[in-house]
Amino acid sequence: MRKKLVLALIWSPLLVGCHTLSGCPTKDNLKAHLKDFIPGQFEVESIQELKQMPGVCEVVLKVGAQPIILYTNKDGKYVLAGNLIDLTSKQNLTRARQQELMKISQDLLKELQSQTDFVFGKVGSQKYIYLFTDPDCPFCKRSEAIVEKWANEKGVEVRVILIPIPIHPQAFGKAVALLCDKKGWQDYKNGYTSNNQCDAGKKKIESNLNLAAKYGIGGTPTFIGMNGKIHMGVPTEQDLDKLIN
């Protein structure tokens, strides 16, 4: 008989001896051991025993705005990285949990306001979202019509922040040209480019990339709502609704 839950995971041994009264390792102890496996800065947000699988503890890490979910046993001797799947409902429980946790603070949200490159939709609306996008990203192109239609119907201002991804070698120059020539959303959609690579434009795009790295944003399109919630990838209108509610 097939079990209801399965862990599609890779086991990596970590010798973590101390544990809490609940049977899960402490945050400090687990962080001390994980730092050798995870590059850069991160925080252990929470550790709790899974209701679905007694004896297995869920570990939530935060790298910038990105939640990372791992699993460990009660004595902290092993850590698992992967997806927890409910075979009955066919739901990816790990992905659902990540989506639930993907949120930034209001302080970080305020930082984005000065980083906006141009806007579209219902300009000046009290309802807004941020869109991190790449001029040469095919998934961003697939998102354009969805987001534009939704923003106009719902009266939402979309604030665009350009982050050209390194796998698109022409994207950086296109992003710089858009800023240097003071172009906007329609020009962006039409693939505008020019030879204008002014220093101010280059510095702004570098600033955008640094900000994206700080927030743990490594892919496009990425949306951040006025409520701090984050959605990555091509959205549905329902996904976008969650960013303003």
Whether this model's pTM surpasses 0.75: no
- The three-state DSSP-derived secondary structure of the chain is CCCCEEEEEEEEECCCCCECCCCCECHHHHHHHHCCCCCCCCEEEEEEECCCCCCEEEEEEEECCEEEEEEEECCCCEEEEEEEEECCCCEEHHHHHHHHHCECCHHHHHHHHCCCCEEEECCCCCCEEEEEECCCCHHHHHHHHHHHHHHHHHCCEEEEEECCCCCCCCHHHHHHHHHHCCCCHHHHHCCCCCCCCCHHHHHHHHHHHHHHHHCCCCCCCEEEECCCEEEECCCCHHHHHCCCC
What was the pLDDT predicted at 118?
97
| Domains in the chain: boundaries | 5-101, 106-241
pLDDT tens, N- to C-terminus, the chain (245 residues): 444 434 433 334 443 333 333 578 889 888 888 888 877 778 898 999 998 888 899 999 887 767 889 999 887 778 898 999 989 998 899 988 887 787 777 777 888 988 999 999 999 999 999 999 999 999 999 999 999 999 999 999 999 999 999 999 999 999 999 999 999 999 999 999 999 999 999 999 999 999 998 887 888 999 999 999 989 899 999 999 999 99
Indicate the fold that domain 106-241 takes in CATH. Glutaredoxin (3.40.30)
What was the pLDDT predicted at 5?
39
